[in-house]
Structure 1
Amino acid sequence: MTALRLVLTLPIFRLLAAVIGLVGCVNASIMPYQSLIGIERIGLSHAAFAAVMVLASAVAVTTSVYVGILSDQRANRRQIALVTASFGLAGAALMLMQPNALTFVIANGVLLPVGTSVFGQTFALNRLASGPHPQHREGIQATIRAAMSVMFLAMLVFWTFAFAAGVDVMAVYLSGALASLTLVALILGFWPRDGQTTWADRPSGLKLSRALAQLARPMVSLRLLCLGAVASSGILYMVLVSLIFEQAAGRGPSDVALYVGLVAGCEVPFMLLMPRYLAHIPRARLILIGTALYICHLVFMPVLAPTPAIWGMTLVAGLGGTAMLVLPISYYQDLLATQPGTAAALIALQKLVGDVFAAIAFTIGTALGGYALVALIGGGVALTGAVALWWLDARRPFAQPT
Structure 2
Amino acid sequence: MNEMNIAAVSSNELLLIMASISVLGIIGAFTGEKLKIPDVVIFLLFGVAFGPTFFNLVNIEAFPVANEIILTFGSAFILYEGGREVKLKVLNEVKVSVLLLASLGVFITAFIISIGAHFLLNLPMQTSVLLGSIIASTDPASLIPVFKQVKIKNKLKQTIISESAFNDAFGAILFSSILVSITTAQQASLSGTTFKLIYMIVVGLFIGIVVALIGTSLSSDKFFGIFDKYWPIISLSIVIFSYEISERLGGSGYMSVFIAGLVAGNKKFFHLWIEDEIYVEAVHFRENISTIARMSIFIILGTHLDLQSLIKYGGKAFLIVLILIFIARPIVVIVCTAFDIKAAWSKNEKLFMMWVRETGVIPAALSGIVVSSKVPGYEVISSTVFMTIVVTLLLQASTTNIVAKKLDVLEK
TM-based fold match above 0.5: no
Larger RCO of the pair (alpha carbons < 8 Å, separation 6+): 2
Q: TM-score, normalised by structure 2?
A: 0.29
